[in-house]
Each structure stands twice: as C-alpha cells, then as structure tokens.
Structure 1
Amino acid sequence: MLAHRTTLFKSSGTAAARVAAKAAAASGRDIIDLTAGEVWSDLAPSVRDGAIAAINRNLNRYTDTVGLLELRQALASKISAETAQPWSVDEIAVTSGAKQALFNAAMALLTPGDEVLIPAPYWSTFPAQVGIAGGTPVFIETRNSNYVPRLMDLAAAVTSKTKAIVVNTPNNPTGTIYDRGTLAGIAQLAIDQDLWIIFDECYGAFAHDPHTHQSIVSVAPGARDRTLIVNSFSKSLALTGWRIGYLAGPAPVISAVKALQSHTTSNPNVIAQHALLHFLERGDPAFQLQLRRQVTKARVLGLSILSALSLVPPPAAQGGFYFYLDLTELLRCTNRPGRKFTADDVVNLLMDAAVATVSGTAFGDPAGVRLSYGVDLELLDRGLRLLTAALNAWTRTIDCKAPAIEEG
C-alpha cells in the first residue's frame, strides 16, 4: 500500500501535456507542441566553455552540499546587485533547479496544518509541494483582477494558521507581472501578519516593454528577513535540462536547507555548477541579448495572430514566454443545459487540430489555456494559425445571444 502523501498530488499537468503531445507525434501525427516551458535555443557559449573546461579538468567529485563556495559568492553578488541589498554566501543554496529550491523552502518552513496563500491560476508544483510538506494551500482567485491578486483578498484569507504567501512574477501560467504597488502591499501584509514570502522569479529575465520585473526585496527592504528568493537558469539561459537553480534567504533557513539537501540530492551536478560559475564570472551579453530578442519577436508574432480570435481577448503576455488565453466568454456561450464545457474540451479540440496546449485545469483554472511561444518561429506561426482557425470555426457554431447557464 502506498503512503498517504501520494494521494495529495498527481503528476504535473504541464508534464502530462508534454507526454500527450509526444504520444500523438509518436503515433504518426504532425503535432505542433506548444506545451513546454522552455525556450528553444543553443547553449550560451560561455556556459558550454565552462562545462567543457570542467570536464577537461576531471572535476568529478562532491562539492559542498549547497554548492561551490565560489559559485555562491558569485550568486550573492548577482542578487545583491539585483535587489540593492547585501547578500552573503551563507544566505545562498545552489539547488537542482528551482523545483528543489521550492521543495527545500516548503520542507524548511512548514509544519503540518500550516496554510500557504497561492494566487490562482498557479504553477501546479506550488500546491503539490505544500501538500507534501503537510501544509494546506489556500487559493486566491485572480481571474477577475487581471490575474493580479487583490490585497483585500489576500488579507481576508489570512488565518491563525497562515504561514506564507507565494509570489510568482512574472507569473506562470498567466505571464502577468506584479507592479510595485502590489509587491509593496504584499510585503506589508507579510510584515503585519508575520508571514514568509516565497518569491519565485524564474521568468524575471523576460519582462516585455513597458513592463519591468522587480524583486519584492528591492521594493520593500523591510521584508528582506522574511523572504525566500527562488530562481534558476532554466529559462534565462535556456538550460531546462541542466537542473541548476538557487534559493536565497536568511542564514538560519539556508542552514536548515543545507541539512535537508544533504539527505536528499546532496550537491547539484558539479559540471553544471562550474559551467554556471564560468558564465557568472565572464558573462555572455551577446547570447542573452539574442535570447531576449528571439522571445520578443515570437511574442510580437503571436500577439498579431491571436488578435484574430473571436470571443477570446488578447493575452497580456507581460512577462515570460506564455500566452494565457481567457476562455471565459467562449465557454459561457458554449455551455448548454446538461453540457458544461471546460478548458479540457478546448485542449482536446486543439489537439484534433494538431496543436498541443496545456489546459488551465492544470493551474486551477477551468477557463484558461496556456501556450508557449518559446518554440521555433515557423512552428509558432503555423501552430497559432491552426489554433485561431479551430477556435474561430467553433465560435461560428455558437449563438452567443443565448442566455448564460446559471452556475450551481
């Protein structure tokens, strides 16, 4: 018999969508896969050179559990520059990707019964890891406020059991970037209610004009001692398969994380660590500029194509590399007595049209669909045109003058 904790979560919805896309392709179908949370790119030259140099030096032994001292020093300098706050090596843990950083944070902070506020739609790993740690996720609906949590809703959800707030900006899946006022308000709420802030900024390298990404620590320095910063290089350097990230926070938390990590994975991959150190020491501005231009070009192309959608408003796509389609009006017009459509139905319709997407149900939202625009531009163009044609064809069969079905 399996442990009870296995009933608290299921496989990642985004991973399941990727598997479905691959299975369809393996069956011989020409599927355009817009499910993956990654940018298609070659390696950054400095990362490749650093990895090759480490291999040539026969670097194959353990490092410190939470990463090379030199790498943590480089990361402390990076975060200090980004937040305008001083950070030291004993406040940094290098992890096997952002998922391990989040897992470490949940295990170090939460005791059974603790509640964690999570704005919805949310990345499915947030509530899953809270549950594994024995905590209870409390979801804050944001669909009616442009996918940004209202401070009044967060404050109303706080109870004597609330331990932390998850802040994910730029947001996965919605692409929303929280403004300074929202960040300052969340920080003040955390200070007033003695809460931790888990600040996930993994998509921070991709903020699209006129929007800018800002660290909650730089906006509200008073929240510095209650904030855990989670980041990785999976997105910013297109290194999803390398599994290298970090957690930054107060030294006592990092000390607890070090002990925990010593009994789980131990140190992250040594070659990836040296490759990243090489990048941080030398930089690679040409590569980073090229990657940002690639993502920006894809965003512009995608928004142009998606503007032809009926009953689906243009996605915000303020940051990251996802288009998140709000299907509320489309589904309202589609629903009839005895048949209520959800995002899952739309995803199935799109798969029939040879486009693989991720249903919003994976993110706690039955009325959304996520599309990645980190793919090859030609594939993106074809995929979004097929998607637009399929949804508009469906729309033409709908009499939207019919009254909406009452909920309940």
Structure 2
Amino acid sequence: MLAQRTTMLKGSGTAAARAAAKEAAAAGIQVVDLTAGEIWTDLAPTIRDGAIAAIDKGINRYTDTIGIQELREALARKVTEETGQACGAGEIAVTTGAKQALFNIAMVLLNPGDEVIIPTPYWTTFPAQVQIAGGVPVHVDTRANGFVPRIEDVAAAVTPRSRAIVVNTPNNPTGTVYHAALLRALGELAIEHDLWIIFDECYGDFIHTDIGHHSIVSTIPEVRSRTVIVNAFSKTLALTGWRIGYLAGPEPLVSAVKALQSHTTSNPNVIAQHAALHHLETTEGTFEAGLQRQLAAARNMGLQVLSGLSRIPTPAAMGGFYFYLDIRNLVAPDPCNLVIGDRDVDTLVRELIAKAGVAAVPGTAFGDPFGIRLSYGVPSDVLQDGLVRLVEFLNAWSYGASPRAENEERVLS
C-alpha cells in the first residue's frame, strides 16, 4: 500500500501534454510542440563561461545547503535593486529551481488544514504542493475579469483557516500582468487578515504591456515581513534544465527552509551555482535583451496569425511567453451548435494533435475547462507553422465540422 498522500497527486498537466506530443511524434505524426514552458535559444555566454571555469577549477564539493555565500550576496543585491528594499544574504535561499523554492515554502508555512488562496487559472503545481503540505487550495476564478483577480473575490475567499495568497505575475498560464493598484490591494488584504504572500515572479523579465512588472514588496513595503519572493534563472536565461532558482524572505523563514532542504536535496548543483554567480557578476544585459527581442517578435507574429481565429478572441499575452486561448465558444453548450456542445477542451486538444499535428496544454491542467495554453518560446518558423495549422483546425472545429480530410492527410504524410 502506498502512502495516503499519493492519492492526492496527479502528474503535472504540462508534463502530460509534453508526453502526448512525444507519443504522437513516435506514431508518425508531424508534431509542432507548443507545450513546453521553455525558450529555445543558445546558452548565455556568461553562463557557459562560468560553468566551464568552475569545472576547470575542479569545483565539485558540497556547498552551504542554501547556496554559496557569494551567490546569495549577489542575489540579495539583485532583489534590493528590483524591489527598492534592502535585502541581505541571510534572506536568500538558493534552490533546485523555483519549483523547489515553492515546495519549501509550502512545507515550512502550512499546517494541516491551512487554506491557500490561488487565483484560477493557476500553474498546475501551486495547488499540488499545497496539498502535499497538508493544506487546502482555495480557488478564485478570474475568467470574468479578463484573468485578473478582483480584490472583492479574493476577500470573499478568506476564512479563519486562510494562511496565504499566491500572487503569480506575469501569470502562468494566462500571461496576465497585475497592475500596481491590485498588488497594493492584495497586500492590504494580507495585512488585514494576517496572511502570507507567495509572490512568484519567474516571468517578470518578459513584459509586453505598458503596465510593467511590479514587485509587491516595492508596491506596498509594509508586506515585506509576510512576503516570500520566488524567482529563477529558468525563464530569464532559458536555463530550465539547469535547475537553479531562489527565494527571498524573512530570515526565520529562510532558516526553516535551510533546515528542510538539508534533508531533501541539500545544496543545488554546484556548477549551476557558479555559472549563475558569474553571470550576475559580469552580465551587461545583452543576452537578456536579445531574449526579450526574440520573444517580442514571436509574440507579434503569433498574434497576427491568431487574429485569423473566427470565434476565439485574440489573447492579450501581456507577459511571459504563452498565448492563452479562451475557447468557451467552442466547447460550452450552445443551442445554435449542439454538435460541439458536448465536447470538452481535452477532446479538442487530443483532436488538435491527432488531426492537425499541434500539441498544446489543455486548460484543465490549470483548473480551467475553457482554455488552451500555447508556448511561443519555440523557433519562429516552427511557431508560425503550428499556429497556422491551429487556426485552420479551430476555425473548422468551431463550426461543428472536422478539419478537411486533405488537411489530415497532409499532417500524417
């Protein structure tokens, strides 16, 4: 018999979508994979040089559990610059990616039965980690407000068992960017009800709107003592496979994280740590700027193609590198279109990959039965091909008919 907690766990919806893409490719379908939350690009020279230098020096020993002192100091300077609030190395923990940072936070903050407010759609791991820690996810639907949480809805979700609010901006999967006034209101709510704020800003370097990215700590400094900032190099430097992230929070929390991490992974990969440190010490922002230009160009091209969708609104794609499609008109009951009314987003995504050769992540992975997430971090020619196929398929599907047989033959040939 397995532990009871395993009954609460389901595999990551995004990982399942990637696996489906690989299975389809293995079956002979020419697949355009738009599922992965990563950017296709060369390695940053500063990262490469830092890693090679560390290897050449024979660096291969344990470090401090939560990262080498020099890296924590460099990250503290980074957080200080970004928030306008002085941060020291004692408030930083380096982790094996942002996912471990979030897991650590859940484990050191939550008691059994504690509730965590999570706006929906959400990154699939948020509620899973809350449940692993014995907590209870409380979801607040944002669809009616363009995927931006309304403060009155968040306030209505607060109960005596509430312990924390997850604030993820730019949001994965929707790409929504929270404006400063909302962040301040969320901070005031947290103060009023004595809640922690888990502030995930892993996509903060990729902003495509005049709203800009704001740290909640800079917007309302009074919440600093109850806020944990989570970030990583995975998105900013396209280092998903290197597994290097960090959190910034009050020293007592960081001390608890250190004790926990000493019994799980111990220190993050030492070569990745030195590579990140070298980057922070030597970068002039050239690589980051190039990555931002790459994504901006992909976004503009993608939005132009997606504007050809007949019954689906063009996504705002305010931040990050995802297009999030609202397909309610295709799968919700519609008296004028009964044929497609009994289908769901999972069915649509399965047909999309089988008949159009395009792999996407269904919104059900994010707690939303009416969404599809598409990554535009892939090469531009791959993205254009995939989105053209998707538009053709969805326009046909939206009228209750399957895509033309010759289209299916083209994909399978």
Q: For this structure pair, what is the TM-score category when the shorter chain's length is used for normalisation?
A: over 0.9
1:397 to 395, 400, 408: 400
Matched, 1:202 2:205: no
Matched, 1:347 2:345: no
**Residues 147, 176 of structure 2: 8 Å contact kept:** yes
Structure 2 distance, partners of 1:395, 1:335, is 9
Q: Partner of 2:187: helix, strand, or coil?
A: helix
Structure 1 match to 2:227 = 227
The correspondence of residues 316-395 of structure 1 with structure 2, limited to 5 A, is: 316-332=316-332, 333=334, 336=338, 340-351=342-353, 352-395=355-398
Change (3 A) 1:314 1:290: same
The Cα of 1:14 is off from its aligned counterpart by 0.1
**Residues 117, 165 of structure 1: 8 Å contact kept:** yes
**Residues 46, 284 of structure 1: 8 Å contact kept:** no
Change (3 A) 1:335 1:99: farther
The Cα of 1:23 is off from its aligned counterpart by 1.2
Structure 2 match to 1:401 = none
* TM-score, with length taken from structure 2: 0.95
Question: Alpha carbon RMSD of aligned pairs, Å?
Answer: 1.2
Q: Deviations over 1:60-80 (max 9, x none)?
A: 000000000000000000000
The Cα of 1:331 is off from its aligned counterpart by 2.0
The correspondence of residues 118-157 of structure 1 with structure 2, limited to 5 A, is: 118-157=118-157
The Cα of 1:360 is off from its aligned counterpart by 0.1
The Cα of 1:337 is off from its aligned counterpart by 8.5
The correspondence of residues 157-306 of structure 1 with structure 2, limited to 5 A, is: 157-306=157-306
**Residues 168, 199 of structure 1: 8 Å contact kept:** yes
Change (3 A) 1:338 1:147: closer
Q: Deviations over 1:354-389 (max 9, x none)?
A: 000000000000000000000000000000000000
**Residues 331, 340 of structure 2: 8 Å contact kept:** no
Change (3 A) 1:131 1:335: farther
The Cα of 1:339 is off from its aligned counterpart by 5.7
For 1:340, the aligned partner's letter is D
- Among the aligned pairs, what percent are the same residue? 62
Structure 2 distance, partners of 1:224, 1:338, is 49
Structure 1 match to 2:79 = 79
Structure 1 distance, partners of 2:257, 2:324, is 34
The Cα of 1:284 is off from its aligned counterpart by 4.2
For 2:271, the aligned partner's letter is I
The Cα of 1:110 is off from its aligned counterpart by 0.1
The Cα of 1:211 is off from its aligned counterpart by 3.2
User: Which stretch shows the higher mean deviation, 347-356 or 292-301?
Assistant: 347-356
Q: Partner of 2:368: helix, strand, or coil?
A: coil
**Residues 340, 400 of structure 2: 8 Å contact kept:** no
Change (3 A) 1:230 1:305: same
Q: Deviations over 1:109-158 (max 9, x none)?
A: 00000000000000010000000000000000000011011110111110
Structure 2 distance, partners of 1:397, 1:137, is 36
* TM-score, with length taken from structure 1: 0.96
Q: Deviations over 1:146-198 (max 9, x none)?
A: 10111101111100000000000000000000001110000000000000000
For 1:342, the aligned partner's letter is D
Count of matched residue positions in the alignment of Structure 1 and Structure 2: 398
The Cα of 1:212 is off from its aligned counterpart by 0.8
The Cα of 1:393 is off from its aligned counterpart by 1.2
For 1:180, the aligned partner's letter is A
User: Which stretch shows the higher mean deviation, 9-18 or 277-286?
Assistant: 277-286
For 2:49, the aligned partner's letter is D
Q: Deviations over 1:205-257 (max 9, x none)?
A: 10013231110000000001000000000000000000000011000000000
Matched, 1:43 2:46: no
For 2:350, the aligned partner's letter is N
Structure 2 match to 1:405 = none
For 2:267, the aligned partner's letter is N
Structure 2 distance, partners of 1:241, 1:193, is 38
For 2:193, the aligned partner's letter is Q
**Residues 337, 400 of structure 2: 8 Å contact kept:** no
Specify every segment of 5 or more residues in structure 1 that has no aligned partner in the other structure, as ranges: 399-408
The Cα of 1:28 is off from its aligned counterpart by 2.1
Structure 2 distance, partners of 1:65, 1:335, is 58
Structure 1 match to 2:33 = 33
The Cα of 1:84 is off from its aligned counterpart by 0.1
Runs of 4+ residues over 6 Å off in structure 1: none
Q: Partner of 2:338: helix, strand, or coil?
A: coil
Structure 2 distance, partners of 1:339, 1:313, is 18
